[in-house]
Amino acid sequence: MSETHGRQRIRLFRAEAVVLRRRDLGEADRILTLFTREAGKLRAVAKGVRRPESRLAGHLDLFMRTSVLLARGRELDVVTQAHAVEAFLGLRQDPWRVGWAGYLADLTDRATADEDPQPLLYDALVESLRILASCADPFPIVRRFEMRLLALLGYQPELYVCPRCGQRLTPGRLAYAPDLGGVVCERCRNEGPSEIPLSVGAVKALRLLLADRWQELERRPLGPSLRGQIEAVLAAALRAHLEGPLPSADVASLLEQRDGGRNDGVSPASVAGTSC
């Protein structure tokens, strides 16, 4: 699509996006990091969006699913229209939901390159935000998103064959070896500090996540030990492929990073309580 303004042709394109991050620019603008279904991650300027009368206001909030019309700029694209598709209002009702939504957004931001479309990851993010907005326990959906992200980017952990000896795994004293990216058999364990010992239940739970049968985790009791093992394996697998420390689900640090240290009246309480 293009429109002619004078002699200059402006290239416009429509995309569906989740707002991953935003930063204030000048008096009333914002720079947004958008994860679009069609074009992958990109940064765009929303001019005047911080003015209450802006037609964009309320359609470009953090974590919102929104339909945008973008004009290609020389450096940054410009948001010319925005229409909220799904606001995930439930996400704003509890600080912990905001924190987990921020964690998923940060993981997506860190794991993807600019303008590299990942429509299946986009769908997984949207579905995860939707479930996070109303679920009682974030654990299954957050772990499912982590596993889905690893699998879609080609980094899924090996859970069936020992990566050291090549033997099919059988129940026993198994452990996850981060350097090998998989679960090693009893004979191949080195008992080193980086190994994560795994119960049979933890291996089964990880396999359910890998098969995208995460709802089955919601139906079984997940004790602290089992949760700890699943979380540790996924964190180790993510750490092996993302540079730097993993993102945090802590609301205060999330906002500090996300608003670039400039707090424009958005506090954890206001994010949790109202549209941000």
Q: Which residues bind Zn ion (CB under 5 A)?
A: 162, 164-165, 185, 188
| Closest approach of Zn ion to the CB of residue 151, in Å | 23
CB 54 within 8 A of CB 33: no
| Closest approach of Zn ion to the CB of residue 255, in Å | 45
| Closest approach of Zn ion to the CB of residue 154, in Å | 23
Side chain identity at residue 187, one-letter code: R
Tell me the C-alpha distance between 123 and 108, whole Å.
12
**C-beta closer to Zn ion: residue 185 or 230:** 185
| Closest approach of Zn ion to the CB of residue 200, in Å | 16
**C-beta closer to Zn ion: residue 168 or 219:** 168
Tell me the C-alpha distance between 83 and 87, whole Å.
10
Tell me the C-alpha distance between 124 and 144, whole Å.
9
Tell me the C-alpha distance between 4 and 159, whole Å.
55
**C-beta closer to Zn ion: residue 12 or 188:** 188
**C-beta closer to Zn ion: residue 129 or 184:** 184
| Closest approach of Zn ion to the CB of residue 189, in Å | 8
Tell me the HSE value of 273 on the side-chain side, using a 13 A CA sphere.
Answer: 6
Tell me the C-alpha distance between 126 and 5, whole Å.
35
